[in-house]
Structure 1
Amino acid sequence: MRLNIFQKRPRITHEGAPAAILSAEQRLRRSVLSCLLWEGEFYEDGESIAERIYTLALEVEPQIVAAMAIEAREQMKLRHAPLILLCALIKTGGPLVAPAIERVIQRADELSELVAIYWRDGKKPLSKQMKLGLSRAFTKFDAYALAKYDRAGPVRLRDVLFLIHAKPKDEIQADLWKHLAAGTLSSPDTWEVALSGGADKAETFTRLLTERKLGYLALLRNLRNMDQAGVDEELVKAAILARKGAERVLPFRYVAAARAAPRFEPWLDQALSETILEQPVFAGRTIVLVDVSGSMGGRLSAKSDLTRMDAAATLAAIIPGEVRVFTFSNSVVEVPPRRGMAGVDAILRSQSYAGTELGKAVTTINGIKHDRLIVITDEQSADRVPQPVAKQAYMINVASYRNGVGYGGTWTHIDGFSENVLSYIREQEQLVKGA
């Protein structure tokens, strides 16, 4: 891929509405925090987005880039976008590089992925700070993690180990790294290894569930396999409701799991609803306005059947408090303010998917009494978007396009489709209240 400086373009959305004029930091934030990197979107391909992220990151202060990489990884639960931010930070240099790398890398394969992205235009020496950050991050991982993520590819974990000359914490880790270097790590006890070795599906999943060795995302992704293999329903149900490790699972994953294995939807719905119950209720009346235009039908990733509309609908269906829900495309339609899966279905079936008349939709909502407005959209409006009448108004962007609306005036702009955007709203209002 090329990472050239992009040309200046008119400040309009892809649908033609005037777009906000943003600083480099604002443009970087909107490109990063709603980005499953390398995945194409409705209007832009993944490589163009990656190119823009890298170029913008070189224009922004290093401390901001470091903080954004950490936020993208820890709060928005993204994996690849933070790594390309780290590459820009590495190019800039300075003492922020090592601690940012150490904190952002949370899975063992990210060690090799960072080096692979850093070498995307050809191999080059690793800086002292990059080596230091990778060395510190390497010590986080035990035998299970290293064996699980020591995957074949342009850069392997052993390659990283040889490049950085990391110092092990103790003799046990030193011995572990010798096995990694020699390629003699014991195979990890994962469902992939077991099934590829010919193990029985039902027995494998039953054992891993019983021993609590199956991660929550792996559980959700394998519900169809478990259903087809005849794994005990009560065991699967208990694992879904236990939500062990669910804090790293984005809300739309529950919807994907329910579509793949409909019989488990009641318990998936219950688990998703726990997300609502764990959050303090918003004060006053909230109107949620969800974009169901055609561009929101773009898939979240090449391997996913889910769309940005699914992600937006799921986020809308977990907002706590007194809520009225509307969808917009060429029309504005009110839907029942249902929670969980029922709320998602109500939004997705509310109207036909056509244009993006966000300006008309906000004008309509301005005529309805409310305390807070939350718009969830890709911001590619066909008409000019007015200022909201609500004192608390939020434009949540779920796409990574270059230009967008919903900045300035009384709008608070937020990027991402994690439930953490709701935490941001809550913290923002507490700050305003305490001021």
Structure 2
Amino acid sequence: MAKFNRQRTRRPDGVTYQGGAGYARDPRSELFLLAVANMVGEQTFYEPGADRDQRYRELIAAAAVAHPQWTAALLRWLRGGANLRTAALVGAAEYVRARLAAGLVNGTGEHRRVVADVLQRADEPGELLSYWTSRYGRAVPKPVKRGVADAARRLYTQRSLLKYDTASHAFRFGDVLDLTHPSPSGPAQGDLFTFALDRRHARPEPRVAASLATVAANAALRADAADDPAVLLDPQRLRVAGMTWEDALSLGGSRLPKAALWEAMIPSMGYMSCLRNLRNFDQAGVSDEVAAGVAARLADPGEVARSRQLPMRFLSAYRAAPSLRWAWALEQALNLSLANIPYLPGDTLILIDTSGSMHSPFSKDGTLMRWDAAVLFGLALALRCERAKVVSFSTRTTVFPVQRGESLLRGIDRFKAKGHFHNGGTNTASAVREHYRGQHRVVILTDEQASFDGDVSTSVPATTPLFTWNLAGYRMGHTPQARNRWTFGGLTDAGFGMITLLEAGERGDWPF
């Protein structure tokens, strides 16, 4: 989501995976684009997951030694501003390892703070330790231990224990406590730590202290549900017991009507839990009255901001939900998540890469592809332009007619229905030449793996700003780091906000 601009031009450094002119990035630019596009362990069209992850580790290690403050800021931003969990956790572990290997012991505790700061959810201390021990063994260095301990002290509560301390995790809360020895914040958390350890080690009848009211209520509700599952239809008891929707469904099983059980659970469900279960609500037959309450919450600006959901999540929910009763709420939520896209005066050429390599999943479940993200951001940007020409390109091109006043989700549906996903080669330069008619700026949403049909950078005059939105993070880019040639990255909209700044001649910078 940052620009990469240097006051120089140069010959191509190599070729892209498709044989086009390829330009190497400086190490920090390469790391940034890979970090914001890498889901870790993901197989991409051109780069195996293991190779991609190794490149990420190597780039983190080099940057941690050469640019420690910049790298620490990147990692914090990845988890906070970009809301990318795994890349931040892996990066923090590799940051500390590289600096310790180089003999760079930090007396100010910065290594410890980097680890603590990227851990923002109660299952993440165990995630980071699981990553470390799976790669480097049980000898965990002190900065990692202390950072994890700081996070556990901040994140471990009764409700987080009930939600995340499950047998499916290799590192349970008790394992984290055994390895890192955090000091409890007070007597109540001390009781919680004791309970977590007793439960992890299967000690007979783990003692539930009086301070653990939520844990006790949860145990009581489970016991009562074994005899009479109807107790699970009491929303108040579910809330007080910190019962997750997964556990409630498991306990209720087929003994309760699904609609009634969902309606009892919905008042205590989190925003993301509601968002991911819209299909289940419809299939169970949740009433329109209850659905209206969920929809109002999904569209609430404060809830959207607090949820920190990526724009892609709302598109995924829209496609998964069979009922149209969620469409308006998801449209509002999506627009709120795209609030940083600025108004762009004049004429803008927007080219959306729908080549075969963009038909590559963001994550292992494969529900959304890179070209879905390109279309989402491309159409969202077009709706903010005074005048925009939107082109889908691959081996051939088609012009997508923008309709003013059309909802973004409807526009995405129309893009698909009208056959604008081409699935051919990546003829970027020829697409630019075909459709450039003196527009004020050109924006390309792509994985940058252009074919050998010409140099993308020279396809428009050097005086015309050319902005590339990179959605893959491969090593080679299709433009040099030069004046009026910028590359952004990431799965949020914030980078687009820099277009007006860069065109005004202000210095673009990293988003952290």
TM, length-normalised to structure 1: 0.89
Instruction: Verify the 8 A CA contact 1:224 1:261 in the aligned structure 2.
Output: yes
Given the superposition, is the C-alpha separation of residues 236 and 16 from structure 1 closer, same or farther in structure 2, using an over 3 Å criterion? same
Structure 1: gaps (5+ residues): 1-9
**1:255 alignment partner in structure 2:** 315
The partner residue of 1:290 within 335, 349, 352 is: 352
Give the Å deviation of 1:15.
0.9
Instruction: Tell me which of 112, 121, 127 is aligned to 2:135.
Output: 121
Residue 340 of structure 1 corresponds to which residue in structure 2?
A: 408
- In the TM superposition, 1:103-142 aligns within 5 A as 103-141=117-155, 142=157
Distance 1:220 1:430 in 2: 39
Point out where structure 2 has 5 or more consecutive residues left out of the alignment: 1-12, 101-105, 200-205, 207-211, 219-241
Q: Give yes or no for contact 2:61–2:94 (8 Å, CA) kept in 1.
A: yes
Q: Pick the aligned partner of 2:335 from 267, 273, 283.
A: 273
Residue 197 of structure 1: aligned partner: 251
Which protein is bigger by CA-based radius of gyration? 2
Sort the Cα spacing of 1:422 and 1:219 in 2 relative to 1 into closer, same or farther, 3 A.
Answer: farther
Matched, 1:229 2:249: no
Q: Could you say if the C-alpha distance between residues 431 and 119 of structure 1 is closer, same or farther in structure 2, counting changes exceeding 3 Å? A: farther
More relative contact order, 1 or 2 (CA 8 Å, 6+ apart): 2
Aligned to 1:17: 20
Alignment partner of 1:43 is 2:46: yes
Paired AA for residue 75 in structure 2: A
The whole-number CA distance in structure 2 between the counterparts of 1:285 and 1:73 is: 35
Q: CA deviation at 1:344?
A: 1.7
Letter in 2 for 1:197: L
Q: Distance in 2 between matches of 1:86 and 1:434?
A: 26
What are the residue-to-residue correspondences of 1:240-389 with 2, within 5 Å?
A: 240-242=298-300, 244-245=303-304, 247-263=307-323, 264-276=326-338, 280-319=342-381, 320-322=384-386, 323-338=388-403, 339-348=407-416, 349-365=419-435, 367-383=436-452, 384-387=455-458, 388-389=460-461
1:206 aligns with 2:263: yes
Cα offset, 1:245, TM superposition: 4.3
Q: Which stretch shifts more, 35-44 or 238-247?
A: 238-247
Partners of 1:245 and 1:143 in 2: how far apart?
25
Total equivalences in the alignment: 423
Q: CA deviation at 1:278?
A: 6.6
For residues 389 and 250 of structure 2, what CA distance do their matches in structure 1 show?
A: 49
1:203/1:288 CA distance change after superposition, 3 Å: same
Counterpart of 1:68 in structure 2 is: 74
Q: Which residue is equivalent to 2:4?
A: none
- Report the more deviating stretch, 406-415 or 185-194: 185-194
C-alpha change, 1:70 and 1:282, in structure 2 (3 Å) is: farther
How many Å separate the matches in 2 of 1:148 and 1:345? Answer: 36
- Give the counterpart letter for 2:402 in structure 1: P
How big is the shift at 1:279? 5.1
Amino acid at match of 2:260: E
- Once residues 91 and 340 of structure 2 are traced to their aligned partners in structure 1, the CA distance between those partners, rounded to angstroms, is 31
Could you list the per-position Cα deviations for residues 320-374 of structure 1 after superposition, in whole angstroms to 9, with x for gaps in the alignment? 2323322111123221235511222343332522110111122234x32333322
List per-residue Cα deviations over 1:182-224 (Å, max 9, x = no partner): 2268354211111111264323332333x3x322222221111
C-alpha distance in 1, partners of 2:87/2:352?
Answer: 25
Q: Deviations along 1:72-128, whole A, 9 cap, x unmatched?
A: 212222111111111211111434211212221111111111111112224232222
Q: Shift of the alpha carbon at 1:257?
A: 1.4
Match status 1:422 vs 2:475: no
* In structure 2, C-alpha distance between the alignment counterparts of 1:333 and 1:37, rounded to whole Å: 33
Instruction: Give the Å deviation of 1:426.
Output: 5.3
Q: From the superposition, tell whether residues 418 and 279 of structure 1 become closer, same or farther in structure 2 (CA, over 3 Å).
A: closer
Q: How far did residue 241 of structure 1 move?
A: 2.0
Q: In the aligned structure 1, how far is the partner of 2:457 from the partner of 2:474?
A: 20
RMSD: 2.5
Partner secondary structure for residue 380 of structure 2: coil
Residue 374 of structure 1 aligns with an amino acid whose one-letter code is V
Task: State the 1:266 CA deviation.
Answer: 3.5
User: Structure 1 residue 155: deviation in Å?
Assistant: 2.0
Question: Closer, same or farther in 2 for the Cα pair 1:427/1:191, shift >3 Å?
Answer: farther
Q: CA deviation at 1:175?
A: 1.6
